[in-house]
Structure 1
Amino acid sequence: MAGSSLIDRPEAMRFEQAVTMPDGGTALVWADYAVQGTTRSLLHVEADAALRGTGAAGRFMQAVADHARAEGLTLAPRCSYAVAWFKRNPDQGDVLAQ
Structure 2
Amino acid sequence: MTTITHHPERRRFETQIDGHTAYLSYEIVSDDVLDYDHTIVPSELGGRGLGKQLVKHALDYARANGKKVIPTCSFVAAIIDKTPEYQDLLV
SS in 2 for 1:45: strand
SS in 2 for 1:3: coil
Equivalent residue, structure 1, for 2:10: 12
Give the alignment's Cα RMSD to 1 decimal: 1.7
Q: 1:39 aligns with which of 25, 33, 36?
A: 33
How high is the TM-score relative to the length of structure 1?
0.77
Matched residue count: 90
Unaligned runs of 5+ in 1: none
How high is the TM-score relative to the length of structure 2?
0.82
Query: Percent identity at matched positions?
Result: 24
The CA distance in 1 between the partners of 2:37 and 2:9, in whole Å, is 16
Provide runs of 4+ in structure 1 moved above 4 Å. none
